[in-house]
Amino acid sequence: MNFLEEKIVTDGIVKEENVLKVDSFLNHQMDIKLFEQIGEEFKRRFSDEKFTKILTIEASGIGIACITARYFEVPVVFAKKSKSINLDGDMYTAEVESFTHKTTNHVIVSKKFISEDDKVLIIDDFLANGCALQGLIKIVNEAGASVKGIGIAIEKGFQPGGKIIRNLGYRLESLAIIDNMDSTTGEILFR
Ligand code: 5GP
């Protein structure tokens, strides 16, 4: 088991409906030493890539993206969730269905912050069905920039997102891939 898998086993809580609660270290209270290990590991796995920007989505991707950015020395842009659709054309937009809240958000990124020469590393905390990633990929493509890598902390491998994104040809690195988890026993099986 790697450092993140160990942390998930110790402090993660398996909830019903395929939700893993990690709010004691990842997306409410944040364990910054762990985030540093995550950033370092992404840097190691993508050591052959030259990124110009990290893109993530609010809110829970932001912390990991910021610490990871220290290792790549690039700026972080986060897609904002917005109720209204901007009509004056200065934003890239995508629709993203929230896995945890079962609602649809418009996410927006100002055209000022991604340009066609950007080589983007997309970072997020979880990968489930892949909606968040597909929204972010759409935004990068609309900007004419390229997605050079995708870094995920926890992929739930029993849900379809990882397969969809890999089949599209993207370089996806997930630090912990869960193949099975059981809310009655609390058991977690990693790939
Ligand atoms: P997807 O769009 O891939 O279906 O879901 C990814 C997003 O949903 C992530 O940004 C994350 O915030 C949230 N998410 C998905 N699964 C889980 C989970 O099991 N636990 C938590 N805490 N968040 C999740």
Give the distance (Å) from ligand 1 centre to CA of residue 34. Answer: 19
Give the Å distance between the CA of 102 and the centre of ligand 1: 11
pLDDT computed for residue 98 by the predictor:
87
Mean local confidence (pLDDT), 144-162: 98
pTM of the model: 0.96
Residue 86, pLDDT score: 61
Strands in 12-118 per DSSP E: 13-14, 20-21, 53-57, 76-82, 91-97, 104-110
- Report CA 19 to chain centroid distance, whole Å: 16
State residue 5's pLDDT score.
Answer: 98
- What are the tens digits of pLDDT across the range 77-109? 999 998 766 666 799 999 999 888 888 989 999
Ligand 1 mutation pick, 125, 136, 154, max ligand atoms within 8 A of CB: 125
Residue 64 tokens, joined: 């990991």
pLDDT value of residue 166: 98
What's residue 89's pLDDT?
76
Q: What is the pLDDT of residue 101?
A: 82
Average pLDDT score over residue span 179-186: 97
User: For residues 76 and 83, which has the higher predicted lDDT (pLDDT)?
Assistant: 76
For the stretch 111-144, pLDDT in tens is 999 999 999 999 999 999 999 999 999 999 999 9
The pLDDT of 45-50, averaged and rounded, is 97
Which SS3 state, helix, strand or coil, does residue 1 take?
coil
| pLDDT of 88 | 67
Q: What integer best gives the mean pLDDT of the chain?
A: 96
Q: What is the mean pLDDT of residues 41-69?
A: 97
DSSP, collapsed to helix, strand or coil, labels residue 18 as coil
- Tell me, using a 6 A CB cutoff, whether residue 51 lines ligand 1: no
Q: What is the pLDDT of residue 87?
A: 60
Query: Quick check: CB of 129 below 6 Å from ligand 1?
Result: yes
Nearest CA to ligand 1 atom 19: 19
Alpha-helix runs per DSSP H in 26-91: 32-45, 61-72
Residue 15 CA: which ligand 1 atom is closest?
19
Q: Answer whether 161 contacts ligand 1 (Cβ < 6 A).
A: yes
SS3 8: helix
Please name every residue paired with 79 in a beta bridge, in sequence order, or none if there are none.
Answer: 57
Mean pLDDT of 19-46: 98
